[in-house]
Amino acid sequence: MDKFIIEGPTPLNGTIPISGSKNAALPLMAAAILGDSPTTITNVPKLRDIYTFNNVIRVTGTHVTFDEDEGVLTIDPANLAHLEAPYELVRKMRASFYMLGALLGRFGKAKVSLPGGCAWGPRPVDLHLNGMREMGANIRLEEGYVIADAPKKMEGGTFALEPSSVGATINLVLASVLRAREFTIENAAKEPDVVLLCKKLVEMGADIEGVGTRTLTIRAVDRLEGIQIRNAADRIETGTFMIAAAMHPESDVTLEGVNVKDLGQFPATFEKTGAELITGDNTIQVIAPETLRPTDVTTETYPGFPTDLQAQWSTMMTQAEGTSTVTDTIYYDRFSYVPEVTRLGADMDVTENRVAIEGKTPLKGASVMSTDLRASVSLVLAGMIARGRTDVLRIYHLDRGYEDLEHKLNAVGARIERTKQEE
């Protein structure tokens, strides 16, 4: 098991390339098995979750090739015959559950393990299953697996997502495009990952009405064709590096390969901290303020403030001059990073789904423990502003969602070393 040794504080200056999005790539990979011919996806990041999902797909008999150097992934479902996603793989990553929708949609049968993923909070799959039942599928749970079957054409119907859910929207779209006569998803997620998936399914031949809105209506088609797809830029990586740049008053960082429109309201919120943003066609330059202003945020569904950036934002607020609060309305139990950042000297207090931060507090290096993907990167950000040495343990979480993190940050001035963690 690896860890990071970080020496701080370090201002950041230079250019960072933004990788392809993991959260966008995974649904596109699932969609690829719906086609009658191979699909090629470019701009795919080298991440543990990508490798895991490649293996999940391979179990079905699908041929998967991944050119890591070029970021090119080709999925050929010609020999797909085994309609199961096993526990030993699905438990590693929650998005593997997309195989339920894809297999049910393509073949009318599926056996998929209940999912795993980050170790925080209950994230039930009831919305996925109830939506498929409304569509006309037979769903039962058996020894930790979801067993699903459906007729050649399901009648469909209407299902309202309460609350709106990216994962459930994706799974229901995958299940319906080949099999539901007419199925309407109300309060559908409209995150960029969902919009990209729907647009590419339409290019494959799907009939989806309302793409980019809260109401999606899907009418089954007889077949889909494989296509060429360019994956989106990672908007969460973009936001993370924007925050990293703003935390030190001497930082000036340009992010390349950004899709600014995918960031929703985040840039406007970000500028309230006093940081300066200069945006180009596919770049964002971040110039850190001399004094970081405390800025309250509340997570919301897109285009609001993303829950995947709340840990990083809270960590940045430890360096703001004054009191701020961060409230997570998406996941109530996503504050495992707080005790760890507090170990470095932060003044943070959690009450239910809100953390109050008193700044500015000087941080001092110590050993801290990662608990999930976004919590892990918040500890890296804290380590880069803390004085002295910080050891961030269990960084395998980071490798699930950030490509070449230490190399990108070291290239602009950070001092991060990856080494083996003593057991």
State the catalytic residues.
118
Annotated ligand binding at 103? The verdict is: no
Cβ–Cβ under 8 Å, residues 374 and 395: no
Distance in angstroms (rounded) separating the CA atoms of residues 396 and 371: 10
Q: Are the CB atoms for 132 and 104 separated by under 8 Å?
A: yes
**Distance in angstroms (rounded) separating the CA atoms of residues 403 and 7:** 21
In sequence order, the β-bridge partners of residue 29 are none
Element (H, E) at 397: helix 396-401
Residue 173's SS3 state is helix
In the 8-state DSSP scheme, what is residue 79? Answer: G
To the question of whether residue 22 is assigned a binding role by annotation, the answer is yes
Q: Is 126 annotated as a binding residue?
A: yes
Q: Judge whether 185 is annotated as a binding position.
A: no
Say how far apart CA 210 and CA 345 lie, in whole Å: 48
Among candidate residues 418, 402, 406, the one with its CA nearest the CA of residue 50? 402
Q: Give a three-class secondary structure readout of 360-373.
A: CCCCECCEEECCCH
Q: CB of 13 within 8 A of CB of 392?
A: no
Extract the tokens encoding 290. Answer: 């001399």
The response to whether 140 counts as a known ligand-binding position is no
Q: How, if at all, do strands 252-256 and 283-287 pair?
A: antiparallel
What are the φ and ψ backbone dihedral angles of 27, each rounded to 5 degrees?
Answer: -65, -35
- Residue 385 is labelled as binding a ligand: no
Q: Give backbone dihedrals phi and psi of 14, rounded to 5 degrees, phi first.
A: 140, -160
The answer to the question of whether 23 is labelled as a binding residue is yes
Q: Which residues contact 389 (CB under 8 A, 6 or more apart)?
A: 5, 6, 7, 365
293 assigned binding-site residue: no
Residue carrying structure tokens 């599928």: 137
405 in a known ligand binding site: no
232-266 residues labelled b (16+ CB within 10 A) or e (exposed): bbbbbbbbbbbbbbbbbeebbbbbebbbbebbbeb
- Tell me if residue 337 falls in helix, strand or coil: helix
Ligand-binding site membership of 330 (annotated): yes
32 by Cβ neighbours in 10 Å (0-12 / 13-18 / 19+) ranks as buried
Q: Which residues are annotated as a binding site for phosphoenolpyruvate?
A: 22-23
Q: Which residues are annotated as a binding site?
A: 22-23, 94, 123-127, 308, 330
Q: Which residues are annotated as a binding site for UDP-N-acetyl-alpha-D-glucosamine?
A: 94, 123-127, 308, 330
